[in-house]
Structure 1
Amino acid sequence: MSHEFRPGEVIYYPYLWAWQQQRGETEGRKQRPVCVVVAIRSAGDGNTHLVLLAITTQPPQAERIALEIPDIECRRAGIGDLNQSWIVVDEYNYDIVEHSWYIEPHQEILGRFSKSFVMKIGATFAKARTQSGRVKRFD
């Protein structure tokens, strides 16, 4: 039985940025912390669909939509050793756990954001979703 992913959990994942995909790259360049913002188990096939948002220490460019992660939330998420961090909400990686090349059945969870911060992430993601880029990570 694999881990039941929940929104707000933070895991390591080889995130593929949309600009990298547009250049023809197919693999993320490094493992980075990502936040599970959506985790849905399909009733039809039993697969777990994940929407993953990148966490970065690079300040966002002016045209990007990102939330600064407060220090307390970094500690809760298990990334307290990072300096100032942001969660990018205007693009995401979409993966299916049971078909993923990147997620292990018993994937280690670094930590989890508080419910209130997850709600803020979700609301900001929902607003940005119309202009967000999806990067599909499975075949």
Structure 2
Amino acid sequence: MTTRRDELLRVGTVLDYPYLWKREFLSGETEGRKDRPVCVLTAIVSPKDGQTHLALLAISSQPPHRDQQAIEIPETECRRAGLADWKKAWITVSEYNYDIAEKSYYLDTAQAPIGRLGKRFMQRLANAAAPLFRQGGARVDRR
């Protein structure tokens, strides 16, 4: 039986989270300014401790800043993601928040998902993010 928590922590799930932007983190901030939709890019259960390690990508209704790389979300995917009311939306792929679900001060695992992005679009996001993540410096540690 799948629990709400299991559903929430699946790749492609869109949920609310107090995302901390890299520029805010670098200026010394430690808390996200507001809850915003994020997308679960990865959810890996560690064989060592059984904890779920997450990479969360921010979703915004604003175009990306000059120093960010983002992918515009197609209208169909916006509807799947539960963001049908948004005129336009972007997912930032040049940075991510890293958190551990079982230890998180920020993730409400009792919340219902907002929506889910499709597998094909998620693959596109993963392909775009992978080289940026490998370069280092994209991670904002929230644990």
Is the pair's TM-score, using the shorter chain for normalization, greater than 0.5? yes
**Range into which the TM-score falls when normalised by the shorter chain:** over 0.9
Give the match for residue 110 of structure 1: 114
Segments of 5+ residues of structure 1 without an aligned counterpart are: none
Q: TM-score, with normalisation over the residues of structure 1?
A: 0.93
Please show how residues 69-88 of structure 1 align to structure 2 within 5 Å: 69-88=73-92
- When the two chains are superposed, the root-mean-square deviation of aligned CA atoms in Å is 1.4
Please state if 1:3 is matched with 2:5: yes
Amino acid at match of 2:51: N
Matches of 1:86 and 1:131, distance apart in 2: 22
Deviation at 1:107, TM superposition (A): 2.9
Structure 2 residue aligned with 1:133, among 123, 128, 138?
A: 138
Deviation digits for residues 24-50 of structure 1 (CA, Å, limit 9, x no counterpart): 111000000000000001111110010
Matches of 1:117 and 1:100, distance apart in 2: 27
Aligned length: 138
Structure 1 residue aligned with 2:71, among 64, 67, 74?
A: 67
Deviation at 1:132, TM superposition (A): 4.7
Deviation digits for residues 5-58 of structure 1 (CA, Å, limit 9, x no counterpart): 111110000000011111111100000000000000111111001000000111
Give the match for residue 48 of structure 1: 52
Deviation at 1:103, TM superposition (A): 1.3
Provide closer, same or farther for how the CA distance between residues 132 and 75 of structure 1 changes in structure 2, counting only shifts above 3 A: farther
Segments of 5+ residues of structure 2 without an aligned counterpart are: none
